[in-house]
Amino acid sequence: MDIHEYQAKELLKRFGVQVPRGGIAYSPEQAVYRASELSGDKWVVKAQIHSGARGKAGGVRICASEEEVCDAAAWMLGRKLVTHQTGPQGKLVSRLYVEEATAIAQEIYLGFVMDRKLERVVVVASAQGGMEIEEISANEPDSIIRSVVDPAVGMQAFQAREIAFSLGLEPPLIAQAAKTIMGCYALMSDMDANMVEVNPMVVTRAGEIVALDAKISFDDNALYRRPEISELRDKSQEDPRETFAEDRGLSYIGLEGEIGCIVNGAGLAMATLDMIKMAGGDPANFLDVGGGASPERVLMSFQAVLNDPKVEAILVNIFAGINRCDWIAEGVVRAVRELDLDLPIVVRLSGTNVDEGRKLLAESGLAVIAADTLAEAADKVVTAWKDARYKEAS
């Protein structure tokens, strides 16, 4: 789960990280009021969306008057910002963060991520801040500093100082930088985050270390014990297909194809996507219906798949162990009848109660295409999809 920049900064402040003063605004008038509260002669108006590269899309404006603050806010609010991370659909701006301008002397990149291979938190830092870590890696590979944190003892003060020294900071700044690094790690550890990124962390002309921008992502599996973090979720920034599925306990990832997939087990789901590609089609989603799926859960899976308007055919691929094929078949029959489906549906069943499941489908009188193997199912769904397209075009 991602959160907005202003929410990330509030959390960082709780862990002793210095951030610029700012306030949230939902209208141009409120943005002007926030600027007057902050005083000063320059402010930064920032669109709050779950994406990087906001500045390139016009989502970050430096303003030298309250009129400019008002104009920037009016331009951003209600607009869909399109960045390389949002895709062409963009993300809607419904709130802004108005922040005091900071006089920058140096920009630094600081990130904390989970390394799945090492099973450790890794600190990634670079003296070349202000751009994406991919750009830094490509343009300044020698500037990247990596430090692995031992989970048995956590981030140690000496380790934080070593990172600060490696960044080439002046001696008076080392203690401040180390405090920032320790605070970021404490947040990540204590709040079940799986990424904390401060980019840029800046050295101001007044000689202070400040987190100028921040991104934090949290482990969805730990949100049950972090209700205060769950409340920060903004569903308007999420893919509505994935939100619908997640709220119903389904594992769903939206893709760009036309063939919807309903599968049990992540490994089988990945294999199903590959087989559809090999057969000449494009999968519209990854969906793991899970073990012990009831007919109601299968129906919800169909609804989740059909929330994607691009879906033109559906492949149901079940290898039942904990699941039961007759339950799956009952769910398929209910979905076709209750949702009044007229698109091609291919069902491959194998495992527990497979004969009962196939009998239910055969006796339903529905135009459901049966398949015995995954390869056969993939070929049949792609063929049926192409035939349906041809008939529609004719």
Kindly state the DSSP code that residue 248 receives in the 8-state scheme: T
Instruction: Using the structure block, give the residue that is written with the tokens 């990149």.
Output: 109
197 is catalytic: yes
Distance in angstroms (rounded) separating the CA atoms of residues 272 and 278: 10
- Catalytic-role residue among 100, 197, 242, 312: 197
Distance in angstroms (rounded) separating the CA atoms of residues 121 and 102: 30
User: Degrees (nearest 5) of the Cα angle 138, 158, 187?
Assistant: 70
Distance in angstroms (rounded) separating the CA atoms of residues 129 and 264: 43
Taking the CA atoms of residue 217, residue 223, residue 226 and residue 232 in that order, the dihedral angle to the nearest 10 degrees is: 50
Distance in angstroms (rounded) separating the CA atoms of residues 106 and 91: 30
Residue pair 23/34 in contact by the 8 Å Cβ criterion: yes
Annotated binding site: 46, 99, 102, 107, 199, 213, 264
Distance in angstroms (rounded) separating the CA atoms of residues 131 and 342: 48
Annotated binding site for substrate: 264
97 is catalytic: no
Annotated binding site for ATP: 46, 99, 102, 107
345 C-beta neighbours (distance < 10 Å), count: 23
- Catalytic-role residue among 97, 109, 185, 252: 109
Annotated binding site for Mg(2+): 199, 213
The catalytic residues are 109, 197
